[in-house]
Structure 1
Amino acid sequence: MVTTARRSPLVLRILKWIALGLAGVMIVIACLVLIYLISTQNSPSGSQKMQGLNDAVSIGFDPSDIPHIKAATASDALFALGYLHATERSWQMEINRRLAAGRLSEILGEDTLKIDRFIRTVGVKHSAERQYERYPVEAKRLLQAYADGVNAGNAKLGWALPVEYFLTGSKPGHWSPTDSVAWMLMMAMDLGGNWQKELQRLELSRDLTTDQIWEVLPPYTQGNPVTKMDFAALYKNMGIFANTDASKTIKPLGIQDVRQPDTKQDQLLRALLPGGIEGIGSNNWALSGKRTVSGKPLLANDPHLGLSAPALWYFARLEAPGINVIGATLPGIPAVVLGRTDSIAWSFTNTGPDVQDLFIEELNPANPGQYRTPDGMAAFLVREEVIEIKNKPAHRFIVKQSRHGPIISESYDRAKNLINTDRFALALRWTALDLDNQSVIGLLEMNRATNLEAFKKALRKNYAPMQNVVMADTTGNIAFQAAGVAPKRTLHQGLYGLAPAPGWDKQYDWQDYIPFDQLPALDNPEQGWIATANQQILAANNPNPLTGDWELPFRYERITALLQAKPQHDLASMRTMQGDTLSLAATPLLPLFNATQSTHSSASAAQAIIAGFDGDMRKDSSGALLFNAWVDQLTRHLFSRLGDYFSFEYGKRHFRNALLEQLSNPNSLWCDSPKTEGVENCAQASQQALDKALEYLNAHYGSDPSNWKWGNAHIAISEHRPFSRVPFLNRAFNITAPFPGDGFTINVGRPELGKHKNPFETKQAASLRTVFDLADLEQSTFIYQTGQSGWVQSKLYRNLNPLWADNQALPLQMKPTTIQRQLELRPK
């Protein structure tokens, strides 16, 4: 007998109510989302009344969504720029404002406490406020106009804010002129990082000799470091280190590990702490008329910075009495940073001078509030900082400052755990914190320059970061100027800023800055071209280098080879150069790569790929992926014995210079594995690396070598802050694309390396590309990796990414053929 169970009418009614309820909730949610999308002001048009304007401002958006701002006064133009920055990039500006002020934890919680504490200790916002007090009245007026525009733009958004605010339970904060100054300091910090290399040398000194440290961190000129001091012996004799176990047996070239637990806060600190990334440089070059088809200069620029979503840049044009400029602006800064007027164009790369020094301060054993100076004991300057933390009690701490600068070892665990904090502290001396720093004024004056002489005069106001500025004008001139301040050092005297110096010894104090007229400069060279790519720059009348830590010259060498490969260039060949992917850092390793045999089952297929690889890091190249997997494993083989140091630094540092130097000696001790009883040479190390590389590729990309394409692994990721680290949300907010190149190609795509999940993804590449044609500036082009909008739901959030990834470009015109939409701002 078969029985059928029937649900009671009551159960059916309950299920029906639940279904209706769920449907109702979904309808309500859909309606709210629709209302939100309709209410958002992410593409404003029409006419709007604004408090703070003096006269009406017209804004026309061209087909690339570049706003063309036309105003009766410069202050109104900057008000409008601030308004657009806020309406298009509100969340980006809010997170940057909080980062510079050390106030992330107010909305993100305890996870960002360490980065807030470090930024507060360095005193970025504190220094910005003191510097702003010295700004002239006119500059203050312009900065205030911009800030008023930002606040008006945020207010105009109403309740329908970017979704990030709802997800973090926050609202836009008040933007002040000092926030712009602070963000300029953060850019200087991002382009610096020498203090971190000094800390690395101190760290390595605990277990290695100075000669061994030079093998890990080779000097730019091999065998001739800018300092001759045995700093490792200096530190050991000083007794600076904590937790040193002299009885512990260490194999040759080994490191004692003293790692503390790696918390989420530590991971965020490493991710968000600006600066210290090796090889994060830029390219620029200019050709005079005798080297171009048109007979007038061509100028190219591609700054290599961290990829973010939305992008670091926002393109705009400003037109007002005394100003007519178009190019890349930084939301938060009231100026075009990279661009052109109607007669000149300019470009930046990072000079990378040593403008950050660590000083070892010896504490008074009877009074830790005092430290030793050349004239006896002195008291630290102190101030209290209070960090508000979401859903947690506030964090209070004291910031100490010596005569050199803020004491960072009390807020940076890596330094704190390294040194004996009962006896010593580490202070940071950094040019950007000087009261005389007024770099924002330099940008304002650059935008007003009508010729190269006026532009060079404006460059004198640039303080930090120091930049290699390559310029050109419509009359046919090309020029170069290193612009910024750097301490004057004497070659081979003292530590030359390469490692922390005893703060009580006057010989290590900064005596003076290099005068502007003695900085490297060049006008209309006979060769007909100028190029910089973070390589060593020397002034003709001052042979002392600005740093001992220049970037490797591979990009520069490739640029110069391509410039000289043809007698004349045009706009198309300039763009082709920007997309070049031949790695001159790979070519020296190709003989060893070709000679290496493997016992892996994929060895025969691998050998065919290896034989055909020439160092070109194309997206479709199997050789590029196999080579990079091999060189990654080889680097790990040689230097992972450095323990914590390698774990912390691999990724921020590529170790390529050290690898090349050690492999030049087939029997280098670094090629021997400390984990085996025998002594391996570099050929054996290479075979082990290739075996591991093939094992890795088979595990991650399958056994079919046709799937081993560089573009499958080398993914450019434009990261959103902070949702790049939040599962599911990161898929919506991050922007990704397969990408060519490596850390040394002109079209740079620097692999992360230290990551275990995908060491080959890249988060540092060309943040924009511009080419300026001085024969007809309306033929100039630009591209960058996201889009003008910071609203994740907008099609303009990511529309430029495919073009950027394929090295395509868009027109950068002051007189566009069409205007897509029009916005008028009128005084209230």
Structure 2
Amino acid sequence: MGLVFRWLVRITTSLILLAVAAVGLIYFLASQSLPEYNQTLDVEGVSAPVEIIRDTANVPHILGQSDPDVFFGLGYAHAQDRLWQMTVLRRTVQGRLSEVFGQRTVHIDKLLRRLDLYGLAHRSVDVQDEYTMAALRAYSNGINARLTEINEQALGRGAPEMFLFNAPVPPWQPGDSVAIIKLMSLQLSGHLEDEVLRARTSLMLEDPALLADILPDVPGSGIAALPEYAALFPNLPRYARGTPLSETPLSPFPERGLAGASNAWTAAPSRSASGGTLLANDPHLGFTAPGIWYLARLELASGGVIGATIPGVPAISAGRSDRLGWGLTSSYLDDQDVHIEQLNPDNPEEYLTPDGYKRFQTRPSIIEIKDAAPITLTLRWTDNGPVLPGTHYDLGTITPPGHVASLSWSALSPRDTSMSASLALMNADTVRQAIDLAEDFIAPSQNLSLVDENTIGLKLVGAMPRRDLNNQSRGRIPTPGWLDRNRWQGRLPYADNPEFVAPVGGVLGNTNNKIIDRPFPRHVSYEWGDTQRVHRWERLMQSREVHTRDSFIEAQLDTVSYTARSLLPLIGADLWFTGEAAPEGTPERQRQIALDLLANWNGEMNEHLPEPLIYAAWLRALQIRLTSDELGPLAAEYKHVEPLFIERVYRDIDGASVWCDVRQSAPAETCTDMARLALDDAIIWISERYGTALESLRWGDAHQATHDHPVLGEVPVLRFFVNIRQSTSGGDNTLLRGRTSGEGPDPFQNVHGAGYRGVYDFADPDSSVFITATGQSGHFLSRYYDDQAQLWRRGEYIPMSLDIGLARAASVGVTVLNPR
């Protein structure tokens, strides 16, 4: 027995030593790729020394003798901190993820190949202006200088992920940066999904009038009645489901309702306590670790600029100079149309056009797949755009036999000058000049909020499609692509893009709300990203005669839900303070406790309160009950509460209360019945998930921000090191927006929000502040991987100063790049 025990001790000790050695080896290999910020290098591609000074937040301040040298430095810094992220973004837009990740990304590669964003980006390089071309070449050289350094000095392949997913990293090219912008257009576009969902819903509803309830128009002047989709294309299936495009974290295709959002507001000197203009901006995107934003300062010939960049793109996307501040919000411009193309029954290689049948433009494309045989696609294009298979976006559910679907989209332009416009914006001096330079923006379309020293402005930028006045669906549902009136007719003049400069009230803002009410086809959009947050924003802006940097920060961090305040009195009108006292522990008693809590709640979606969770679960359960009867399995596509739908039902607008009656049951249910049953559903769900003590619930336990690593975030054990999870306040409809997932066992996880916040005060520009949701580094062993995360969660910021002396005084490293 003693011998056995001794051998067990030896074996156990050996295994522990082996495990420690393995962990040590893994740590050593991974740490080799941690960048050294204090060094001097000789590199090819610069004309004079470039200095990269990293301040205490690891924000690089890049100084050079010429603008191309500065862009070289930015490329080098991006590659130091975010090489893996940049590599994955490039592979995504190329449609080459499967070479590294195997079968799970094949469907993503197929669609990206069909859209050909990468090819169109490289064709667009030729139309950039001379300044932009010099910047793109220098930026690419900076990235490639870092790649050379990694190879020559064996720096752990540049990133820890490279050991697990080893694949060659080709040199960066100017067209790759243009392609990243097109990939952002894909992530910010949602009208294709909206068209398909509207068509599918109209097919599912027995009463077409109900479509205006479940997919209501934003309040304002109405539009002409649309044709029924079934009348355009008869004999379509009522329900089917294609392959979800967002089933993997690597997917660039957003879920419906997660295609981008943002906040931005500005104040003129007349409404500013300091006498200078103010700008606050927080763009909203899906959360990842690292986040999409990277902070940087560039010292250009025209002066310093500082703000948020996207790794892979040599531009400050949102930020300021000494003279100008700019911010971005999603415009929700309708820049996508689905067309149904009729095939020639005698030759499926032809499709119908206004001039008869015409052959598709075709070419083969081979997708290499790790550990599997390659596949060959035949890419087909029509005059309207690329042909998309029915397995994508559920297009098969609305495409009749003998037809295919194609896509018109402004981002498919081979003459996309958005990169030139982005770089020109950094050199602008005034709001008027910036608006004029922004004409070259094509996609993604954005609302550009601007301030200079004296003026504020907002301009919708991006190409607005010109549609025929007699378009059958006005861009709201797919239309026959062979009819001239459904085809695009070029681009509307830039002067038609909505513009607001120096308003009398002295305040401008956008929460993705409807910004203009014009008749089709100059309408901009029928689908808008917000009908709720804007009400709270108006209240905060008008509650003060003048604003400060701090009041703008307060508005950015506001967690009061206008939706909760407006809907709860409606759905609970006949439930508040009614009914007899119920024994402890009974469902009736739990319902009374929940109603008592909500009756005394002010609508603040604070992470430490129980009421937000009760409210959110109630509204979710209510929408499920209201829609399941009419929509059947299609109800699952409505993952987020539609506030206007709930309001229409409970105000009985145009008879919308009919949704409360369950058609398949004998009794006639009222809306009060539905509200009570839904509250019981919510309490049961909460009890099973979080316990029965309603007073002890915390919204933050359910509303955790999920900054997950897109690749390593699902790996056991490792996910605890690479994922950043935080209890957060806010919700779907608060200014501090924390959009919930709406699905799965944790439907209230915070998956989409402000990855960047910035507030700029032009009375004292160096008092401006900014923050990102994670940190500067993409290396999970770096202390800068998540050092900003807790600041972001608590609503804190870091200085946004162009004072190089401050950056030097407390720098964490200085890199000097000398010409080789």
Q: TM-score, normalised by structure 2?
A: 0.93
Distance 2:743 2:644 in 1: 17
C-alpha contact 1:79 1:147 (8 A) present in aligned 2: yes
Q: 1:229 to 1:15 in 2, by over 3 A?
A: closer
Confirm whether residue 442 of structure 1 aligns to residue 421 of structure 2.
Answer: yes
Provide the residue aligned with 1:248 in structure 2. none
Kindly provide the amino acid, as one letter, of the partner of residue 196 in structure 1: E
- Name the residue aligned to 2:406: 427
Is residue 777 from structure 1 mapped to residue 765 from structure 2 by the alignment? yes
Gap change, CA 1:381 and 1:28, over 3 Å in 2: same
By how many angstroms is 1:101 displaced? 0.9
Contact 1:227 1:494 in 2 (8 A): no
Matched residues in 2 for 1:745 and 1:413: separation? 29
Distance 2:604 2:403 in 1: 49
Could you say which residue in structure 2 is the equivalent of 1:670?
659
| Partner-residue secondary structure (3-state), 1:607 | helix
Of 573, 582, 591 in structure 1, the residue corresponding to residue 551 of structure 2 is: 573
Pair 1:129–1:543, CA change in 2 (3 A): closer
Q: Distance between the aligned counterparts of 2:425 and 2:614, measured in 1?
A: 46
**Does the CA contact (< 8 Å) of 2:464 and 2:497 recur in 1?**
no
Task: Please state whether the residue corresponding to 2:509 is helix, strand or coil.
Answer: strand
In structure 1, list runs of 5 or more residues that go unmatched: 245-255
1:655 aligns with 2:642: yes
In 2, the alpha carbon distance for the partners of 1:61 and 1:377 equals 61
| Cα distance in 1 between the residues matched to 2:775 and 2:528 | 32
Aligned to 1:292: 272
Equivalent position to 2:449, from 462, 470, 491: 470
1:139 equivalent in structure 2: 132
Of 625-634 and 31-40, more deviation after overlay is shown by: 31-40
Shift of residue 232 of structure 1?
2.3
Aligned partner of 1:249 in structure 2 is none
* Alignment match, 1:460: 439
Q: Is 1:765 matched with 2:744?
A: no
* Residues 1:25 and 2:7 aligned together: no
Q: Which residue of 2 aligns with 1:350?
A: 330
State the partner residue of 1:216: 214
Matched, 1:114 2:114: no
> Partners of 2:418 and 2:656 in 1: how far apart?
50
State the partner residue of 2:232.
235
Cα distance between partner residues in 2 of 1:726 and 1:487: 44
Moved more, 353-362 or 522-531: 522-531
What is the CA–CA distance in structure 2 between the aligned matches of 1:810 and 1:266, rounded to whole Å? 34
CA distance in 2, matches of 1:417, 1:385: 26
* Preserved contact between residue 371 and residue 377 of structure 1 (Cα < 8 Å): yes
- Tell whether 2:811 aligns with 1:819: yes
Matched, 1:371 2:371: no
State the match for 1:607 in structure 2: 595
Check the 8 A contact 2:263/2:283 in 1, yes or no: yes
* 1:334 equivalent in alignment to 2:314: yes
The amino acid across from 1:401 in the alignment is W
Check 1:201–1:280 CA distance in 2 against 1; reply closer, same or farther (3 A cut). same
Contact 2:200–2:239 (Cα < 8 Å) also in 1: no
CA distance change for structure 1 residues 600 and 74 in 2, over 3 Å: closer, same or farther?
Answer: same
Pairwise CA distance, 1:197: 0.8
1:791 and 2:784 aligned: no
Which residue of the other structure, out of 276, 283, 291, is the alignment partner of 2:263? 283
Amino acid at match of 1:395: I
Q: Which moved more, 1:266-275 or 1:105-114?
A: 266-275
Structure 2 matches for 1:547-566, cutoff 5 A?
547-566=525-544
Deviates further, 542-551 or 425-434: 542-551
- Any residues of structure 2 matched to 1:379-528 within 5 Å, and which? 379-410=359-390, 412=392, 414-420=394-400, 422-474=401-453, 476-489=454-467, 494-528=472-506
From the superposition, tell whether residues 413 and 605 of structure 1 become closer, same or farther in structure 2 (CA, over 3 Å).
closer
| Cα shift readout 1:603-641 (whole Å, capped 9, x = no counterpart) | 232232121122221112211111111001001111234
- For the 8 Å contact 2:56–2:810, the answer to whether it is kept is yes
Of 149, 159, 165, 1:156 maps to 149
CA distance in structure 1 between the aligned counterparts of 2:656 and 2:410, rounded to whole angstroms:
43
Name the structure 1 match of 2:584.
none
Counterpart of 2:812 in structure 1: which amino acid? Q
2:186–2:252: 8 Å Cα contact kept in structure 1?
no
Quote the RMSD (CA, aligned, Å): 2.4
Q: Secondary structure at the match of 2:83?
A: helix
CA drift of 1:456 comes to 2.1
The count of corresponding residues between Structure 1 and Structure 2 is 798
**Amino acid across the alignment from 2:776:** Q
Partner of 2:694: 705
Alpha-carbon distance change, 701 to 451 in structure 1, aligned in 2, over 3 angstroms? same
Q: Shift in Å at residue 674 of structure 1?
A: 4.7
Aligned sequence identity (%): 29
Distance 1:415 1:685 in 2: 33
Give secondary structure in 1 for the equivalent of 2:317.
strand
Q: Which amino acid aligns with 2:685?
A: Y
Counterpart of 2:215, as a letter, is: L
Does structure 2 conserve the Cα–Cα contact (< 8 Å) formed by 1:42 and 1:791?
A: no
SS of the residue corresponding to residue 505 of structure 2 reads coil
Query: Could you tell me whether the CA contact under 8 Å between 1:226 and 1:496 is conserved in 2?
Result: no
Aligned 8 A contact 2:187 2:259 in 1: no
CA distance in 2, matches of 1:537, 1:44: 45
Shift of 1:27: 4.9
Paired residues of 1:192 and 1:276 also in contact (CA < 8 A): no
Residues 47-96 of structure 1 show CA distances to partners (whole Å, capped at 9, x for unaligned) of: 12222222110111111111100011111111111111111011111111
Partners of 2:34 and 2:779 within 8 A in 1: no
Query: Could you tell me how far 1:41 is from its partner in structure 2?
Result: 3.2
